[in-house]
Amino acid sequence: MAETDKPSASTGEFDRISKYFRPLVKDAPGALNLADDAAVFAVPDGHELVVTLDTLVEGVHFIGDEPADLLARKALRVNLSDLAAMGATPLGYFLSLSLPKRIEDAWIELFCKGLTADQGAFDWHLLGGDSTSTPGPISLSITALGTVRKGQALKRSGAQVGDALYVSGGIGDGYLGLLAAKGQLPYGPEADAMLARYRCPEPRTRLGQALVGRAHAVMDVSDGLVGDLAHICAASGVGAVIHAPSVPLSPDAAELVADQPSLYLELLTGGDDYELLITGPGQAIEDAAQASGIRVTRIGEIVQGDRVMVLDADGEELTFAYAGFRHS
């Protein structure tokens, strides 16, 4: 772990690393106890490395009033979701944390508590990183490493005409959670549930692993169901049809949409779901769902073409003001 300078409002950088971050690596020998210039570790024989990076900036990706433990967990989880979409098993992560001087040790303590919780939940560890001060907003960047059997990583480019199209869990909670965070949902238990889901999404790690060797194409829904499916279509050279009434909502989201039907189309293009979008043989995908204990729902199919069509209950095509994507 590099130590570059000392935020003045709190413990010096050396003490900070020792006190807060070193306990996070205790079971990860490759991290060399954060005492060397770099981490060193092996990738198991017959496996490849899967690496993804996501950066969260205060005022852009989060508001700033979030509890620090939830912020830490969200940062880990959006990366875990990317690993899940590749079918990878989490190995470890690197953390870059830039903090303004106003941040106190109590915040860091809570942040590390969040990291610890999701290290346990997903059986991985901090491997190294960098902690700096900044004159700007809080910024954190996670580089997440996972492993997958050689040549077996799930990709966006494998969709085939005739594939069934599935999505895990429920769509829309993340988008509704963002509205709740902005105070744009009526207060109540449903809004609270959406907010909790937005702040701490559920990466589909076990499902991703179970889809290895079964699915043709997988990605996680971070920019919106329709837009992300368009990415799969572009990468695979195919088109897709979504049957809108089949798209699963959580009970809480369904409740909210019942009160505000205009929300429904927004959910199909809203982001932050972190569910897996899956194409392949229907039976194989349902087998993976059963093996992992995570619900999947068939929402459409892969067809010839180069775009995503969303059909309503009458088979009429729905159009969207903002689809969360551009064809390229």
- Please list, residue by residue across 268-282, b when 16 or more beta carbons sit within 10 angstroms of its beta carbon and e when fewer do: bbbbbbbbbbbbbee
Nearest C-alpha neighbor of 71 from the set 100, 97, 105: 97
Position 11 contacts a copy of itself (CB under 8 A): no
Count other Cβ atoms within 10 Å, centred on residue 312: 12
Dist. CA 204–CA 208, nearest whole Å? 6
Cβ–Cβ < 8 Å for 118, 23 = no
Q: Is 278 in the site for a copy of itself (CB under 8 A)?
A: no
In the bound complex, what is the minimum distance in angstroms from residue 245's beta carbon to a copy of itself?
28
State yes or no: residue 37 binds a copy of itself (CB under 8 A). yes
Q: Closest approach of Cβ 114 to a copy of itself, in Å?
A: 19
Closest contact distance (angstroms) between CB of 312 and a copy of itself is: 28
| By CB under 8 A, residue 146 contacts a copy of itself | yes
For the bound state, the minimum distance from the C-beta of residue 246 to a copy of itself, rounded and expressed in Å, comes to 24
- Nearest Cα residue to 75 out of 95, 49, 91, 104: 95
The amino acid at 43: V
Reading the block at residue 279, the tokens are 């194409």
Q: Is 270 in the site for a copy of itself (CB under 8 A)?
A: no
Partners of 242 in the β-ladder: 300, 310
Least gap, CB of 190 to a copy of itself (angstroms): 27
- For residues 218 to 237, the per-residue mask of contacts with a copy of itself, x marking binding by CB under 8 A and - elsewhere, is -xx-xx-------x---x--
255 conformational bin, left if phi > 0, alpha if psi -120 to 50, beta if neither: alpha
**Residues in binding contact with a copy of itself, number by CB under 8 A:** 69
Residues that bind a copy of itself (CB under 8 A): 2-5, 12, 14, 18, 32, 35-43, 45, 48-55, 57, 59-61, 82-83, 85-86, 88, 94-96, 98, 127-130, 132-137, 139, 141, 143-146, 148, 150, 153, 155-157, 219-220, 222-223, 231, 235, 326, 328
